[in-house]
Structure formats: C-alpha cells, structure tokens
Amino acid sequence: MDKVIYAIAWAFSLLPLRVLYWMADCAYVLVYYIARYRRSLVRSNLAKCFPDKDKKERIRIERRFYHHFCNIFVETIKTLSMSDEEMARRFVFENGEILDQYYEQRKSLILTLGHFGNWEWITFAQIARHPLHPEFTSYSVYHELEGSVMDKFYLRLRSRSQSVLVPRNKLLRTLVNQRKTGEPAMYCFIADQGPLNEAITFWMKWLNRETAPIIGPEKIARQTGFDILYIDVKVIRRGYYSARFIPLPLGERPYDLTRLYMRHMEQTILRKPEYWLWTHNRWKRHRKGWEQLMRTRGLEQKIQEAANLDEGLENAIP
C-alpha cells in the first residue's frame, strides 16, 4: 500500500508548486472547517501557551497554522521530484560556512531543530548545498511509529535525501559503529517532542507551560565530544525559508545545553507561532501524573532528582 501511495505522490509532485498550493488551499477548507482535524487540541494548546492573547488573535494564529500545515504537505510531496538547484534556492542557509568548517576539519557534530517551518526540507537543503562532501555521512534520528502506511511513506521520502535514517532505539549502535570507522558524521535531531515517562529527567517552564524536555542530544554531545548546533528556521514567504546555525555551549551544569536549546526553540516559535506544529500533543504527560506514576513504580528518587534540578534554573538565554 505504501508503494501505491508513493507512486501517486510522485505523480502529483510533477505538478508546478503553484498548482500544488492551490490544492493546499482547497485542503485547508476540508481539514480546518469540515474534518476539523485536531482542532480542539490546537485551540487548547494555543489558549494555554498564550493566555495573554485574546481569543480573536489566537483564532488568527490557528487559521494561519492550518494554512501552513497544508502547505507543508504539498511541499513535502514536491520534494519527490524537486531538483537540488531549486531546493537550494528555496531553502537558504544564512551562515552555511559554519558547516564548511566542520567538513574541512572532519569533525562530527549534532544538529537540533524543532517542528517549525518545513522541517522535512532541512536535510534535503543541506545535501543540496554540500554535494561535494560524500565522506561526511548525515544521520537523521527519528521516532518509530506503529508501522502505519504514512510512516512508511515518510521513511521512503526521507531516504531520498541521502541521509541515513536511524531509529532512536538503534542510535547507540550506530554511534559506536560510526566512531570505529573514524569518519566524520552529522546527526540531526528534531527535539521538541515529549520524552517517554522513563526518560523524563527534569521540568522547565516553556511556552508558558511546565514541560519535560528531551535530553538525548546533550547526553550524546557530552559522551562523544561532538559540537552541537541549533537550526533557527525562518519562513520568508510561502515556499521559501532561511536558516541560521547557532552553536550551543555545553555549559557548566548538567542540562544547561538542553535548557539553552529549548529557549532558542521558544524564541523561534514566539517570533511566528503559526509555523510550529500545534497538532502534536506535546503536553500529554503532566508533572503530577508523572510523579504519581513514579511513586507507583517505587521511583521516588527520580521525583527528587527532578526537583533538585528545578532549583536555581535560569530562564534567560546567556
């Protein structure tokens, strides 16, 4: 079934983007007004993240988000037949020379970003900009879904970027094998989702809500010595994006880097909130529910450790 969907999507990808955007406008009406896809979740997320905004302003953000949501879908389809030249023209890196330095020094690094703008184009744009560095392997770390047809479709799509797809449960093995070769590599993490209960380490205020961040990128950076960069994405206009690489220092305390990444991601979202993925149930795990679960499992120590990390946290970006 996924092969059939892929073939249909490839056929649609041959259409000009202006036609695909017309289809996205039609899809917006179906998704937002008729299917009302996750509209209650989006509305709830916006109300809790932006209590200072009036309802009219939140509805405006909501509608713009759904427009962009439909745009991303057709842009992703277009990726199937888009040339490297067009991709490089539509997704520009403002300070791409930073990556050039890593290529020249053969140093491995970690890239972190969120579901903002068009995250599916990030890897394709990187490969389009750097076709002369085949020895620099790119790995895209992803969370496996329950074998759905659309999950298989997106895996086939992402495999076209020449980036090696790595499920999170196989990341450690991949890191060990890559380091044995001595070849440089780049690991890309979309790290604005919620961690599993057993992986929650601490909580912080993020987008006006108590949030448990993903700490994986920082743990790997500390264990391997890899540098880590945050990709700050901007939407220029429909179908055009820019990105800037921001180096993230490890910091002196544990999880300083994670807090810093989350603050940068927060600033990216607050700049243009309609371009973040509000349909994702980011806050389905609440602190009180998590603490109750830890107590039932006899893991009160994790609750205390999280509380200790809360003390003295700095919210501002240094």
Q: What is the pLDDT of residues 167-195, one digit of tens each?
A: 888 888 888 888 888 888 889 999 998 89
Percent of the chain with pLDDT over 70: 87
Nearest to 317 by CA among 225, 222, 226, 232: 232
Per-residue pLDDT of 189-203, as tens digits, reads 999 988 989 999 999
Separation of alpha carbons 55 and 47, rounded Å: 8
Please write down the long-range contacts of 14-20, taking CB distance under 8 Å and 24 or more positions apart: 14/81, 17/74, 17/75, 17/78, 17/239, 20/74, 20/75, 20/77, 20/78
* Model confidence at 53: pLDDT above 80: yes
* Model confidence at 312: pLDDT above 60: no
* Model confidence at 259: pLDDT above 70: yes
The residue assigned the tokens 């997106």 is 154
Whether 61 contacts 84, CB under 8 Å:
no
* 128 vs 95, more confident: 95
Distance from the first to the final alpha carbon of the chain: 50
For the chain, list the strands marked E by DSSP.
91-93, 109-113, 137-142, 164-167, 185-190, 204-206, 209-211, 227-237, 240-247
The residue assigned the tokens 């695909």 is 20
Give the pLDDT of residue 261.
96
Question: Which domains, and CATH codes, for the chain?
Answer: 87-310 (3.40.1130)
Q: How far is Cα of residue 71 from the mean position of the Cα atoms in its chain?
A: 17
Separation of alpha carbons 247 and 184, rounded Å: 18
Whether 234 contacts 241, CB under 8 Å:
yes
**Mean pLDDT for the chain?**
88
What distances in angstroms separate CA 55 from CA 32, 67, 277, one per listed residue?
17, 18, 19
Separation of alpha carbons 113 and 232, rounded Å: 7
Q: What is the pTM of this model?
A: 0.91
Separation of alpha carbons 127 and 138, rounded Å: 9
Q: Residue 101: is it exposed, middle or buried by C-beta count within 10 angstroms (0-12/13-18/19+)? A: exposed
